[in-house]
Amino acid sequence: MMIKKKNHTFLFSWIFLAMINAQNTTIPVNVGVVLDFDSGGGKTAKVYLSCIEMALSDIYASHPYFKTRIVLSTRNSKQTVVGAAAAALDLIKNAEVLAILGPETSMEASFIVNLGDESHVPILSFSASAPYLTSLRSPYFFRITQTDSYQVKAISGIVQNFGWRQVVPIYVDNMYGEGIIPFLIDALQDVDAHVPYRSVISPSATGDQIIKELYKLMTMQTRVFIVHMKPNLCSKLFSMAKEIGMMSKGYVWVLTDGISNRLNSMNSSVITSMEGVLGIQTFIPRTTELEKFELRWKGQFQQDNPTIIDVQLDVYALQAYDAAFALAMSIENVGISTSSEIHKDASSNSTNLDTYKVSENGPKLAEALSITRFKGIAGDFKLVEGQLQSSTFTIVNIKSEGEKPVAFWTPENQMVKKLNDSTNTASILSTNSKSNLGPIKWPGNSLSVPRGWEIPTNGKKLIIGVPVKIDFTEFVKITKDPKTGTMDVTGFCIDVFHAALKVLPYALPHEFTPFSNPDGTSAGSYNDLVYQVYLGKFDVVVGDTTIRANRSLYVDFTMPYTESGVVMVVPIIDRTSKNAWVFLKPLTWDLWLTTFCFFLFTGFVVWVLEHRINEDFRGPPSHQFGTSVWFSFSTMVFSQKENVISNLARFVMIIWVFVVLILTQSYTANLASLLTVQQLKPTVVDIKDLLRKGDNVGYSKNAYVYGLLKEVGFNDSNLKGFRTMEALDEALSKGSANGGIAAFVDETPTMKLFLAKYCSKYTMIGPIFKTEGFGFVFPKRSPLVPDVSQAILAVIEGEQMMSIESKWFKKESNCQSSSQLGSSNSLGLDSFWGLFLIAGVASIVALIIFVASFLYQNGHLLIDPDSEASTSERIGVLFKIFNQKDLNSRTFKSSQPRDRITDARDEVNISPNNNWPESPFSYSNHSDGNSEQHTPPSGQASLESVPRHGFL
């Protein structure tokens, strides 16, 4: 037992010595840390450093077999780029570090990256987020944080979600502030948002300078601001904004993640001044490992820094932890040797830029960092081209008790309301809309979404330009009081504008300014007037301004409030028919032809149905033809004297008489209209006729219609401009042949106004060109355009628009109805084809019934197998039978006994040995005898009994 116990003791001793020996054989690796220990008493730098140290402690505790051990060398950047560069150079040259963690700012990183390139020392920054650092394309720079260009999509998503049209960025005047602006503007343009102004604030700006810039912003319409700067300057900005009332209702503030990620490091008074602000934060999954780490870190930090209380971790502290963890793993994977530097210059104890050492392990370490993958405290650690990839952002609403998440933004699904708790990945619950965000408390404790703009608070009114018109003043009329010099602007367009302003939920102070020269005449064309808005001389233009594509390139129009299109006004003449052939005009030629054919067809049908049983439809062929035609045409005046006996013929005539009644009544009414009602017709119906004939055409001066007519092909010699209604009326009355014009071309509203005064002499043709109508003119991307357009729609849909039109566009009492102008009044076949269809079907059905009945009685003549007659002879026999009287009909039963055929030579005996019943004609009175033969029963006729006249 004693020997066994000694053996165990020896074994444990050997393992303990081996572990001590393994610790003594680890390779120390110098790694530099550059942080700012001067700002805020170095509290933030100490937080970052504690996370880096804890990361190294954790990885070596969980991996005791690692052969390398990082030894940190810390330097102070002293809040300056020069201080950071000096610290990095000292670490590279004197401390002979293999890598550097830091610095904190992008400006410091841009200089240190160059040093890393020259010395092959990897630089790992966990907080430098400026996009321009990517352009350095250094293989030794690793950004362990998201670049600012990633968050601009989330910011533009917020702007789009609430429908804001204009945004003003407020950023610090340095490389960090300017770096995000190009990406932000591009993202805003993608969602149709405009940046009318950029507010730049110096990093060293005083409170007075900040207030001066804020007052400048208050004089603008835009109320949506995006703030991008460091937390210390942001704190000063919001304190001043609250002081002057810019944190009240109607304002919108959005913070970039450079501020939102560090909200926990700001003073509570600053957070109170930022209440109602929205912020973009890098999303960090709340995992069990993170919660345990926060507890361990807080205890360790308080132990190491007992004087610093109430401190919390931010995103950059967690990313510093992951950066140190990744660096330790990469160094171990590379396998660092003890002598791994190549001296560029042998001098020491110097910070000269041209005397430093080049790391032999730098390229291998950079490659190892690029392929390192693990699940970090801050999320998935994966670098692509030295850059941490875009992840989810949290949209937070800052309140007095702290920030509250209201939505999330993911690269895959854009704006979503919730994330999948099990996987911390976005799952879409609904599409982009205001409902996708949780309840938001806006500045001024408002719960309603700000519209993003307000009328400036400096008392400035909107300057509204109006055209100066000589005629057609019903649209815009400017009256000047000679005593006071004040101007009164009235008219149709002005009333519509005032009606729209009454619908708006806010007041819109304004004043009208004529677009005129000092002498009171018009200062230019409508294009010139619209262009004044682009130049900033007018805020709005109200008048008879047409929405045109070329104008919309530099201004925005509201929705149109009048009818669209360019029309042509031409004289009208009385073309009441007074010629000898006017009686043919009530019906079109196709209806005349169809009616004539149906008269003949109906007469034929009645003849077929009545021929065997009605004496009126028998006799010589000419007599039968004349009777049938006469009978059919006499139905027009219902004067037919022939009676119809067959029920089928009566059925046909009932339908046909009804058709004739409708036709005659319609003909009579239309003929009376043609002879008595005044028929007013335009002299021209197509603008191409004017062009082909070379007629003169008028247009309104200073209007775009002149250009349209030139495009069609009119010469200047055929175009005449007019300004007044009287001159236009005189020219149209003269006509083109007498030095006047054949037509006048202008927009629909203008021509409606002209016709309201001269409607008895002219009519409107068209539209001949397509336009969008009249609209109000605003500057490009003006936030007023959607609201005014919606107000115009409300006015148009209500009764108010009708009252405005009736007020300004009064018609003459003797105006003719538009139904009396234009197309022919002749009735066509398309109005009566249904009647003809019914009549035709009825006649055909009657024919079919008659033929079927006739064949049923006499069809055996066609199918008798014992007969030697040919098919044509048999069909001829049927026609012979059809031509004979139907002696069994009621008409002939009451007549005298039938004549008998006495001439034996007329009898036909085709077969002396046949079994057919004898024909009724075989029982006839012969010329040389008086014996009377009896007629056999009906239907028992035979070929032998029918005379063969014309058949043999």
| Identity of the highest mean pLDDT range in 475-484, 559-568, 610-619 | 559-568
Three-state SS for 148?
helix
Mean pLDDT of 657-661: 86
| Identity of the highest mean pLDDT range in 258-262, 517-521, 702-706 | 258-262
The pLDDT, as a whole number, for residue 31 is 96
Confidence of residue 37 (pLDDT cuts 50, 70, 90): very high
Bigger pLDDT: 649 vs 405: 405
The pLDDT, as a whole number, for residue 358 is 86
pLDDT at 185 over 90: yes
Torsion-angle region of 439 (φ positive above 0: left; ψ -120 to 50: alpha; else: beta): beta
Using alpha carbons, list the distances in angstroms from residue 503 to 26, 465, 676, 795: 80, 21, 51, 8
pLDDT at 415 over 90: no
| Best CA proximity match to 938, nearest among 858, 874, 859 | 858
879 CB contacts (<8 Å, ≥6 apart)?
Answer: none
Lowest mean pLDDT among 330-339, 420-429, 478-487: 420-429
Burial grade of 805 (CB within 10 A; 0-12, 13-18, 19 or more): middle
Burial grade of 246 (CB within 10 A; 0-12, 13-18, 19 or more): buried
Three-state SS for 224?
strand
Radius of gyration of the chain (CA): 52
Average pLDDT, the chain: 81
The pLDDT, as a whole number, for residue 878 is 76
The pLDDT, as a whole number, for residue 777 is 96
Segment 281-308, tens digit of pLDDT: 999 988 999 999 999 999 999 999 988 8
Q: Which segments within 260-329 are labelled E, that is strand? A: 278-282
Mean pLDDT of 705-724: 87
pLDDT at 485 over 80: no
Largest CA distance in the chain: 175
The pLDDT, as a whole number, for residue 607 is 83
> 543 with 466: CB under 8 angstroms?
yes
**Peptide bond preceding 28 in cis form (omega within 30 of 0):** no
Distance CA 370, CA 104 (A): 21
b/e map of 89-104 (b: 16 or more CB within 10 Å)? bbbbbebbbbbbbbbb
pLDDT at 769 over 70: yes
Mean pLDDT of 510-538: 91
The pLDDT, as a whole number, for residue 671 is 79
Segment 121-135, tens digit of pLDDT: 999 999 999 998 988
Mean pLDDT of 442-451: 91
Three-state SS for 306?
coil
Mean pLDDT of 812-818: 52
Segment 80-97, tens digit of pLDDT: 999 999 999 999 999 999
Q: Which amino acid is at 554?
A: Y
pLDDT at 728 over 80: yes
pLDDT at 5 over 80: no
| Best CA proximity match to 538, nearest among 781, 779, 194 | 779
The pLDDT, as a whole number, for residue 600 is 86
Residue 68: phi and psi, rounded to 5, are -110, 150
932 CB contacts (<8 Å, ≥6 apart)?
Answer: 900, 923, 925
| Best CA proximity match to 109, nearest among 140, 133, 135, 86 | 133
Distance CA 511, CA 293 (A): 65
The pLDDT, as a whole number, for residue 20 is 47
pLDDT at 165 over 80: yes
Segment 389-409, tens digit of pLDDT: 878 999 999 988 888 999 999
The pLDDT, as a whole number, for residue 772 is 86
Lowest mean pLDDT among 602-616, 653-667, 899-913: 899-913
The pLDDT, as a whole number, for residue 914 is 40
The alpha carbon dihedral of 775, 780, 784, 786 has a sign of positive
- Give the pair of three-digit tokens for residue 539: 């805020």
Confidence of residue 520 (pLDDT cuts 50, 70, 90): confident
Share of the chain above pLDDT 70, in %: 82
Residue 409: phi and psi, rounded to 5, are -130, 130
Segment 496-517, tens digit of pLDDT: 999 999 998 888 888 999 999 9
SS (H, E, C) 611-656: CCCCHHHCCCHHHHHHHHHHHHHHCCCCCCCCCCCCHHHHHHHHHH
- Give the pair of three-digit tokens for residue 432: 């982009």
> 611 with 886: CB under 8 angstroms?
no
The pLDDT, as a whole number, for residue 919 is 38
Q: Which amino acid is at 28?
A: P
- Give the pair of three-digit tokens for residue 941: 């006729």
Confidence of residue 338 (pLDDT cuts 50, 70, 90): low
Confidence of residue 952 (pLDDT cuts 50, 70, 90): very low
Segment 428-445, tens digit of pLDDT: 434 444 555 778 999 999
pLDDT at 944 over 60: no
H or E element, residue 480: strand 477-480
Bigger pLDDT: 947 vs 185: 185
Share of the chain above pLDDT 90, in %: 41
pLDDT at 266 over 60: yes
- Give the pair of three-digit tokens for residue 171: 């950023």
Distance CA 307, CA 387 (A): 36
The pLDDT, as a whole number, for residue 293 is 94
The pLDDT, as a whole number, for residue 645 is 76
Distance CA 824, CA 577 (A): 11
DSSP symbol at 857 = H
Distance CA 167, CA 164 (A): 8
